[in-house]
Amino acid sequence: MTAAPVVVGVDGSEESRLALRWAFEYAQISGVPVEVLMAWDIPPTYGWAPSYDDVDFEKFAKKAQETVEEIVRGMLGDNASVTWRVERGHPAPILVAASEHAQLLVVGSRGHGAFAEMLLGSVSQHCVHHAHCPVVVIRRPDGGRGPATDRPAGRSRPLPV
């Protein structure tokens, strides 16, 4: 019987890259698989009330697939044993649905602050409250005030891939 995976949500942000690194290191230690998940949708800046007949959904899906593949290979290398997939829709419900078959859900937090999160919503907060498994929220070591790194605070070197 295959162990349930660690699911990690990525969106290209530095915080999601930190979440990917943490999830991969945790999975290596635990001996469980990693599933990387990126949600995509039509950008709100695509146009004023676009006609969905004119939208090239395949273009957006392909760009999301290329982005997640670039993130995984760029951070973990070609030999990393992870799977990845993209799904269309808002990330919060997609990650919660993925948590049904996961042993752990890992997400990054941009830490916009209480007011911005009230207006924008928080994917990580939604996952914490609705996921079907434990959730780990990774924040930048400096609280989002400085340049991000690709490794958690306190680690002097990344684990070998």
pLDDT of residue 156: 35
Selected residue with higher pLDDT from 80 and 75: 75
Please report the beta strands in the chain, taking only residues with DSSP state E, as ranges in sequence order: 6-9, 34-40, 82-88, 104-108, 135-138
- Runs of H (alpha helix) within 6-81: 14-30, 57-76
Q: What is the mean pLDDT of residues 48-65?
A: 74
Residues near 121 by beta carbon (within 8 Å), at least 6 away in sequence: 92
Please tell me whether residue 137 adopts helix, strand or coil conformation.
Answer: strand
User: Which three-class secondary structure state does DSSP give residue 88?
Assistant: strand
Domains and CATH numbers, the chain: 6-44+54-138 (3.40.50.620)
- Measured in whole angstroms, how far is the alpha carbon of residue 34 from the centre of its chain? 12
The model's pLDDT over 122-140, given as tens digits with 9 standing for 90+, comes to 899 899 999 999 999 998 8
> CA 77 from chain center: how many Å?
17
Cα distance between residue 26 and residue 30, in whole Å: 6
The yes-or-no verdict on residue 46 having pLDDT over 90 is no
